[in-house]
Amino acid sequence: MNHRLDLDEQEQLANLKAFWDKYGNFITTLVTIALVCYAAFNGWRYWEVKQSREAVVLFEGVEKAVANKDMALLKDASGTLLGDYKRTAYASKGALIAAKAYFEAGDAKQAKASLQWVADNGFTDAYKAIARIRLAGLLMDEKAFDEALKVLDFSAPDTHLGLQADRRGDVYFSKSDNEAARKAYAEALAKLDERDPWRTVVQLKLESITQ
């Protein structure tokens, strides 16, 4: 009985040795690749978390600068945020906040530059859409109507189609193209969610043209 067990064990060991001789290098390579990928993933996650934490500090600096109307600090904090942490959502949010502050301070050039940065580098398509819609508004105020319409010529996410059409209507109305404005406002109403309070504003715009 024991002899039979010894023979079985020897046969199993022989089979295992043959299997390892045939596939050992392949298995070792796979394990090595898996370990390298795991280490790389952990390293990437660590870098991502580190970037996010550092971006938060700079974003808070942007908010503090805006609250204190410290334009020097705003340029410094937002410049570093956009330059070194542009792959984080905080960079997009910081640039949008900075653009509003620049506009309110009378620095339209810097406001447009911040919005253009988000339009080009936004963390999500939603951020890019918001930036383009706001940038078109600034261009409209400068009577650069054709440029504003060009900025609005993009594929917006579904959640921003209504606002995109509404801003397009504003541009057309400002350039006295009432027919195009009516169509744009009608499109905005069709795209905006039924529960969106902005629908009331758009409806008033449309009615003011049709009267």
Tens of pLDDT, residue by residue over 132-165, are 999 999 999 999 999 999 999 999 999 999 999 9
Instruction: Given CATH 1.25.40.10, say whether it is the number of domain 125-211.
Output: yes
Q: Is 176 left (phi over 0), alpha (psi -120 to 50) or beta?
A: left
pLDDT of residue 166: 97
pLDDT at 59: 87
CA gap 19, 58 in Å, rounded: 57
Confidence of residue 38 (pLDDT cuts 50, 70, 90): very low
- Across the chain, mean pLDDT equals 84
Find the Cα–Cα–Cα–Cα dihedral 176, 167, 142, 204, rounded to 10°: 60
Res. 5: pLDDT tops 70: no
Residues present in the chain in total: 211
Cα(123)–Cα(128) distance, rounded to whole angstroms? 8
Which part of the chain is CATH 1.25.40.10? Answer: 125-211
Residue 1 has pLDDT above 90, yes or no: no
User: Which of the four pLDDT bands, split at 50, 70 and 90, describes residue 17?
Assistant: low
Q: Mean pLDDT check: name the lowest of 64-73, 105-114, 123-132, 158-167.
A: 64-73
